[in-house]
Structure 1
Amino acid sequence: MERIKTDICVIGAGSGGLSVAAGAVQMGAKVVLIEGHKMGGDCLNYGCVPSKALLAAGKQAQAMRTNESFGVTPVMPEVSYSAAKDHVHRVIKTIAPVDSEERFEGLGVHVIREWGRFISRTEVQAGDTVIEARRFVIATGSSPFVPPIPGVEDVEAHTNETIFDLRERPEHLLIIGGGPIGMEMAQAHVRLGSKVTVIEGQTAMGKDDPELAAIVLEKLRAEGVEIVEGAQATRIKGEDGRITVETEGGSFTGTHLLMAVGRKVNIETLDLEKAGVAHDRAVKVGADLRSVTNKRVYAVGDAAGGLQFTHLAGYHAGVIVRSMLFALPSKQRTDHIPWVTYTDPELAQVGLTEEQAIREHGRHAVTVARFPYEENDRAIAEGKTTGLIKVMVVKGRPVGASIVGAQAGELIGVWALAIANKLKMSAVANMVAPYPTLGEINKRAAGAYFSPKLFDNPTVKKVVGFVQTYLP
């Protein structure tokens, strides 16, 4: 049995773990990185990267069907589903070297390709190696959750970990779950030629602003996605090629099944009890992301509970590196963390939704500034006028922004910056955006906040009248 002593031992080579390892080793710490599966984690191999690549393929197919308004004759595209999957895997292969074992070994990280588990409060075993470390970082991410619906074990139930390896296009894809993963895969597949039915037990896109979510759902339905809400799956039956999902309100039969109902944190094999690390569905941590029961142990990303986003794991890495390497106080915050559902139109959010802002601050304290895409010249020129931005403002500062429309994921960054740095609405209003761009939407939303204060203000009118009357 080999023994290693190190400063930091990172368990998991996804976004959070890789960010910690790269940052720490380049600033002089000795780092061991343990990964029993694929470098790059879920995001590179099964999540963010492949899903966006498949959505891009669907977007190209849809453009061929809908170009008439630009003077281009629409055609029905000949879609090769397997070739679209080739594109997905080329994208993964292109990005993979950035997350590779070779790159991190080159940086000076000791990479061990084994599953890790705690054997004491200060030791982890990975294969035939025992690692003793001053600090441990649990960055094990999460996996798709397959609910124990009766009969699910008798059919092939795809998840995001298997759907991207499917080479034959589903004739009729049943998707259980109407959240971001379900909706993205629904639109990608309907655009690539599949019939798609989404079965949601409650409300589709239920965690998003209802007004904005309705715009996305209307677009998906118009493209042919059947979305059934309030339909809790009670039984699954059939065989591969003919699968039926039964609900209290009816049954739905298709050729393939995709489970998209949520995720579970990967901590069950870590033997956390031996390290004295308290946990429930995730590691129990404080605002500093340290275990509440073993201060040697940190958790980042999905393993820390809370929001489940790749960019949040990367942010967590920065928080704990400050603490581990420099012994400086460092705490996480989540009010400035944006997220995006990459449907067409995209739906992006940062901070509080309108409903949340009113509930937290009171209706009279919240001003909602709105601006529609249909009044943006670039959106008009490109035929992308379906969309809306809403900015929730309290005492002159944005506390949340919701955007639905083209490139909403790009536009939300301005509001993430504003909220992160506690900027006032005047900071965005003072920005000069190039014309014509969709970026002007952000500035116009800020203008919509100030317009009533300027144009409907009797005092302003009196001052202007005085100046025009009495001053040369």
Structure 2
Amino acid sequence: MEEIKTDVLVIGAGSGGLSFAAGASQMGADVTLLEGHKMGGDCLNFGCVPSKALIAAAKQAQAMKTGEKYGVKPVAPKVDYAAAKGHVHKVIDTIAPVDSQERFEGFGVRVIREYGVFTDKDTVVAGNYRIKARRIVIATGSSPFVPPIPGLDSVPHYTNENIFDLMEQPRHLIVIGGGPIGMEMAQAHIRLGSKVTVIEGAKAMGKDDPEMAAIVLDRLRAEGVEIVEGAKAERISGKAGAITVHTDNGDFSGSHLLMAVGRKANIERLDLDKAGIEHDRAIKVGSDLRTTNRKVYAIGDVAGGLQFTHVAGYHGATVIRPILFGLPAKARTDHIPWATYTDPELAQVGLTEAQAREKHGSALEVLRFEYDENDRAIAEGKTEGLIKVMVVKGRPVGASIVGAQAGELIGLWALVIANKLKIGAVAAMVAPYPTLGEISKRAAGQYYVPRLFESGTVKKVVRLVQKYLP
């Protein structure tokens, strides 16, 4: 067995592991990277990238059916489902070189394509290698959680890890799970011509602001997605092409089944106990992302908390400071944005309205602005949506957006909250006209309406100045 001594061992070549490995190696550290599956991890191969590519194909199909209000005669699209999936794989192949083994070896990273297992506090075995490291970064990510529903193991089903390899168009897709993955895939498939039923045990999009989520759910239902809430899957029966989900709220049958009920941290292979690393469903870390083994850090999904690709990348950048320079660093969550890429999109950063009311009470002000008052949204016929900004003592603590390009618009508010800016910074911004970006500026302007336009004091001062102004 070959012995390797390294400054830093990174376990997992997803977003977090790659972000750290690239930065640390280019700064002069000796970095060894383990990946037992695909470079790029879940996001590139099974998650963010393929799902957005399929959503893009579905948007093209939808545009052909909805042009009448623009003076364009609607036509029924002829969808080649296999070709749409071909587009998905072409997108993956185009991006893959950025995450490739060759690129990272070019940075000076030693890449070993094996899974790693701890043997003690600073040693990991991977294939024929025994690796001893000064510091170790666990970035193994997460994978789909498939609950032990009776009958599921004998019925063909999909998760996000294999749905993008399905080339046969589902006649009727049953989706168990009404979270972001389930709703994105439901809308994509209804637009590509499948019948779709979503089964959710509680409330669809239940983690989002209910007012914003309702706008998305209404659109999906209008497009033909059947959304069944409060229906817990109790048993599954059938065979390929004829599958029935038996719930406490009725039975639902379809041709294909997609499980989208959540994710689980990838910790099974690691043998964490031998390294003195505490864990339950995920690895336990402090705000500095350090585990109970002081030589080991955990970043991204495997550390629990927010499970987003950009969070893993942020974590990877955060631990550069303590590992390479011995300086303190802590990860924040209050400034982390996220988005669900349905149409309309739904995006959030910081506190929702309900969370802000619970935390700040009467000190909270909620600023609102509707898409149907924005000229660009009117011109493009995308007037469905709104923005809400939660403000405490002049400082935004959260923003919720539902509507066209919400995922793009939320970035401004992430910047504001990350840098603890006041609402006046956005109100003072000049946005080009006509753009959806004006929605954020107009929302910020609402903060000053009662202070300037509804204030008797301001009116008295203006009248007094006008009286004596030469």
TM-score (norm 1): 0.99
Q: Which whole-Å deviations, capped at 9, do the CAs of 1:25-52 have from their partners, x for residues lacking one?
A: 0000000000000000000000000000
Whole-Å Cα distance in 2 between the matches of residues 437 and 258 of structure 1?
37
Partner secondary structure for residue 3 of structure 2: strand
Aligned counterpart, 1:279: 279
Whole-Å Cα distance in 1 between the matches of residues 425 and 249 of structure 2?
51
Aligned counterpart, 1:294: 293
Partner secondary structure for residue 368 of structure 1: strand
The residue identity in structure 1 corresponding to 2:302 is: A
The residue identity in structure 2 corresponding to 1:367 is: E
Whole-Å Cα distance in 2 between the matches of residues 80 and 184 of structure 1?
19
Deviation at 1:451, TM superposition (A): 1.1
Q: Which whole-Å deviations, capped at 9, do the CAs of 1:98-134 have from their partners, x for residues lacking one?
A: 0000000111000000011101111001000011000
Aligned counterpart, 2:366: 368
Aligned counterpart, 1:345: 344
The residue identity in structure 2 corresponding to 1:323 is: P
Deviation at 1:448, TM superposition (A): 1.1
Q: Which whole-Å deviations, capped at 9, do the CAs of 1:364-404 have from their partners, x for residues lacking one?
A: 11000000000000000100000100000001000000000
Unaligned runs of 5+ in 1: none
Any residues of structure 2 matched to 1:165-184 within 5 Å, and which?
165-184=165-184
Partner secondary structure for residue 160 of structure 1: coil
1:164 aligns with 2:155: no
Whole-Å Cα distance in 1 between the matches of residues 70 and 289 of structure 2?
52
Whole-Å Cα distance in 2 between the matches of residues 137 and 317 of structure 1?
9
Whole-Å Cα distance in 1 between the matches of residues 172 and 131 of structure 2?
49
Aligned counterpart, 2:239: 239
Aligned counterpart, 1:385: 383
Aligned counterpart, 2:216: 216
The residue identity in structure 1 corresponding to 2:212 is: L
Whole-Å Cα distance in 2 between the matches of residues 386 and 156 of structure 1?
38
Aligned counterpart, 1:412: 410
Aligned counterpart, 1:116: 116
Aligned counterpart, 1:396: 394
2:439 to 418, 441, 446: 441
Any residues of structure 2 matched to 1:138-149 within 5 Å, and which?
138-149=138-149
Whole-Å Cα distance in 2 between the matches of residues 162 and 318 of structure 1?
30
Partner secondary structure for residue 398 of structure 1: strand
Whole-Å Cα distance in 2 between the matches of residues 423 and 13 of structure 1?
35
Whole-Å Cα distance in 2 between the matches of residues 128 and 107 of structure 1?
23
Q: Which whole-Å deviations, capped at 9, do the CAs of 1:182-231 have from their partners, x for residues lacking one?
A: 00000000000000000000000000000000000000000000000000
Partner secondary structure for residue 206 of structure 1: coil
Partner secondary structure for residue 182 of structure 1: helix
Deviation at 1:354, TM superposition (A): 0.2
Whole-Å Cα distance in 2 between the matches of residues 232 and 16 of structure 1?
34
Q: Which whole-Å deviations, capped at 9, do the CAs of 1:223-244 have from their partners, x for residues lacking one?
A: 0000000000000001111000
Aligned counterpart, 1:14: 14
The residue identity in structure 2 corresponding to 1:317 is: G
The residue identity in structure 1 corresponding to 2:256 is: H
Partner secondary structure for residue 393 of structure 1: strand
Whole-Å Cα distance in 2 between the matches of residues 24 and 65 of structure 1?
50
Whole-Å Cα distance in 2 between the matches of residues 183 and 62 of structure 1?
16
Deviation at 1:157, TM superposition (A): 1.4
The residue identity in structure 2 corresponding to 1:341 is: T
Deviation at 1:143, TM superposition (A): 0.3
Aligned counterpart, 1:196: 196
Whole-Å Cα distance in 2 between the matches of residues 456 and 207 of structure 1?
36
Whole-Å Cα distance in 2 between the matches of residues 449 and 231 of structure 1?
42
Partner secondary structure for residue 6 of structure 1: strand
Whole-Å Cα distance in 1 between the matches of residues 353 and 24 of structure 2?
39
Deviation at 1:470, TM superposition (A): 1.8
The residue identity in structure 2 corresponding to 1:178 is: G
The residue identity in structure 2 corresponding to 1:257 is: L
Aligned counterpart, 2:355: 356
Q: Which whole-Å deviations, capped at 9, do the CAs of 1:56-101 have from their partners, x for residues lacking one?
A: 0000000000001111111000000000000000000000000000
Partner secondary structure for residue 158 of structure 1: coil
Q: Which whole-Å deviations, capped at 9, do the CAs of 1:329-384 have from their partners, x for residues lacking one?
A: 1000000000000000000000000000000111x110000000000000001000
Question: Matched residues, percent identical?
Answer: 74
Q: Which whole-Å deviations, capped at 9, do the CAs of 1:436-462 have from their partners, x for residues lacking one?
A: 000000000000121111111111111
Partner secondary structure for residue 137 of structure 2: strand
Whole-Å Cα distance in 2 between the matches of residues 122 and 63 of structure 1?
55
Q: Which whole-Å deviations, capped at 9, do the CAs of 1:7-35 have from their partners, x for residues lacking one?
A: 00000000000000000000000000000
Q: Which whole-Å deviations, capped at 9, do the CAs of 1:292-343 have from their partners, x for residues lacking one?
A: x210000000011100000000000111001111111100000000000000
The residue identity in structure 2 corresponding to 1:224 is: G
Whole-Å Cα distance in 2 between the matches of residues 283 and 201 of structure 1?
27
Deviation at 1:471, TM superposition (A): 2.0
Whole-Å Cα distance in 1 between the matches of residues 263 and 55 of structure 2?
21
Any residues of structure 2 matched to 1:35-46 within 5 Å, and which?
35-46=35-46
The residue identity in structure 2 corresponding to 1:428 is: V
Q: Which whole-Å deviations, capped at 9, do the CAs of 1:233-277 have from their partners, x for residues lacking one?
A: 000001111000011110000000000000000001100011111
Any residues of structure 2 matched to 1:78-97 within 5 Å, and which?
78-97=78-97
Whole-Å Cα distance in 1 between the matches of residues 313 and 346 of structure 2?
22
Aligned counterpart, 1:305: 304
Aligned counterpart, 1:336: 335
Number of aligned positions between the proteins: 470
Partner secondary structure for residue 93 of structure 2: helix
Whole-Å Cα distance in 2 between the matches of residues 369 and 156 of structure 1?
48
